């Protein structure tokens, strides 16, 4: 049984400044840490790129107790093509709804009274108009699948998630590792899943000793392993071990050793300042404007 803990979802962003503004000023999240890398990641954390990149962790509280967003920025990439793979992130926060209205952020309200909005990259957010709970306001991340039962079998039987609900009429299932964690919702879209070039990654932690067993189980079941067990370095911080998998629809799944990750993910009081400095020092937009060239798409 995998002793998993939901950690974060990785979003590739083309406009780091506007995206950070959305997360901070609309959603009401805070910058937890910011890290810069001079070259590509061994586990393709920033996608198939070898250039300089950064990641910024944003959320409503410490990564020990909250599901957060990882904003991955590749220098020189202006935008990414969205697929149909990421359905949305559901957050309970009347404050976010109020912020969006005050700032004129485009929103629609669905039949259930949930407000739907998008960040600057086009990723969807579902805002439940209720007071933020004292626990984590991030309720669930919804991913598209092409065969609901096949996906349930993978996430539940192979990765050990509990099935909380299954709605055959809506073709949805809600899974998770614990009652007090952000849940994973699977939405059967009845067609192939397209990841575009913006494909994300969902991350979980587990005791480090379980990582080899997870890898072995995937091999035994002939499941796809994108990155075999590998160590990843972060400048000035802890080295973590990860294994990267793919579910039947190609959704990327990262399992990271819990012990080292708790050390790596400690909140950095200077995180927001580091992000602001990096944005100010990034002259790529000015360079492309000066040369009258559009910033490349992924």
Tens digits of residue pLDDT in 57-102: 999 999 999 999 999 999 989 999 999 999 999 999 999 999 999 9
Is residue 24 assigned to a domain? yes
For residue 21, is it within any domain?
Answer: yes
- Identify whether 198 is part of a domain: yes
In which domain, by residue range, is 91 found? Answer: 5-62+84-257
- Write out the E strands in the chain: 5-13, 30-37, 53-59, 68-74, 86-92, 107-109, 114-118, 124-128, 138-145, 162-167, 172-176, 183-188, 201-206, 225-232, 240-246, 252-257
Q: Is residue 287 part of a domain?
A: no
pTM of the predicted structure, to 2 decimals: 0.95
User: Residue 170: which CATH number?
Assistant: 3.10.180.10
Q: What is the pLDDT of residues 94-151, one digit of tens each?
A: 999 999 999 999 999 998 889 999 999 999 999 999 999 999 999 999 999 999 999 9
pLDDT band at 291 (very low <50, low <70, confident <90, very high): confident
Asked whether residue 269 is assigned to any structural domain, the reply reads no
Structural domain contains residue 181: yes
Number of structural domains (the chain) is 1
């Amino acid at each position: 049984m995998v002793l998993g803990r939901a950690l974060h979802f990785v979003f590739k962003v083309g406009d780091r400044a506007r995206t950070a503004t959305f997360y901070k000023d609309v959603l009401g999240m805070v910058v937890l840490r910011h890290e810069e890398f001079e070259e590509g990641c061994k586990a393709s954390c920033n996608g198939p790129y070898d250039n300089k990149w950064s990641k910024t962790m944003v959320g409503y509280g410490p990564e020990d107790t909250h599901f957060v967003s990882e904003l991955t920025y590749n220098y020189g990439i202006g935008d990414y093509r969205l697929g149909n793979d990421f359905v949305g992130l559901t957050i309970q926060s009347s404050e976010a709804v109020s912020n969006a209205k005050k700032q004129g952020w485009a929103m629609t309200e669905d039949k259930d009274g949930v407000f739907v909005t998008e960040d600057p990259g086009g990723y969807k957010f579902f805002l439940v108009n209720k007071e933020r709970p004292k626990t984590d306001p991030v309720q669930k991340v919804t991913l598209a699948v092409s065969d609901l039962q096949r996906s349930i079998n993978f996430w539940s039987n192979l990765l050990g998630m509990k099935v909380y609900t299954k709605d055959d009429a809506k073709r949805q299932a809600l899974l998770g590792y614990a009652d007090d964690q952000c849940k994973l919702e699977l939405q059967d879209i009845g067609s192939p899943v397209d990841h575009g070039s913006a494909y994300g990654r969902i991350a979980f932690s587990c005791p480090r000793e379980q990582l080899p067993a997870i890898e072995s189980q995937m091999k035994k079941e002939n499941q796809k392993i994108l990155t075999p067990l590998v160590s990843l370095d972060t400048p000035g911080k802890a080295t973590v071990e990860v294994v990267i998998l793919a579910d039947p629809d190609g959704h990327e799944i990262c399992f990271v050793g819990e012990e080292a990750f708790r050390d790596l993910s400690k909140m950095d009081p200077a995180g927001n300042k580091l992000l602001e400095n990096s944005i100010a020092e990034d002259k790529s937009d000015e360079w492309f404007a000066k040369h009258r060239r559009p910033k490349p798409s992924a």
